[in-house]
Amino acid sequence: MLTGISLLFAVTLTMAQGNPEELAKQEVALLTEKLTLTEDQQTRVLQIVWEGAKAKEIAKEDATLSPEVLAESLHKIQASADAQVEEQLSDAQKPLYKKLASERPKEKAAKPVPAPHALPE
């Protein structure tokens, strides 16, 4: 069953790529379904997830970061968001959240696009 949940989680996040607000709303909707978040938890988790998604977008737009540094930055942002989300959860919700988070596809830095070769004159 959890494999299906992780697949749904991955599909949901992939569909919302590029729009931090939509990404956050979809992730919170999924977490609400799987963890039975209260309205108060939904509000707090939405803020955390949205801020994390915005931070990831900013990092991805930074052309000065090498792929390795970008990947590490994305990992740190996600780890921070996960820790903040966990703080909002009950003791009963935390183990399932950890399981969901561990099954989340790892975000990778985009592969650099090779520069076109100059044509001889």
Give the pLDDT band (50/70/90) at residue 115. Answer: very low
Asked whether residue 118 is assigned to any structural domain, the reply reads no
In a domain, 53, yes or no: yes
Model confidence pTM above 0.85: no
Which phi and psi (to 5°) does residue 92 adopt?
-75, -30
Is 94 part of a structural domain of the chain?
A: yes
CA distance readout (Å), 50 to 42, 64, 112: 12, 24, 26
pLDDT of residue 8: 45
**Residue 108 maps to a domain:** no
Asked if residue 116 has pLDDT above 90, the reply is no
How many structural domains are present in the chain? 1
Which domain does 14 fall in, by range? 2-103
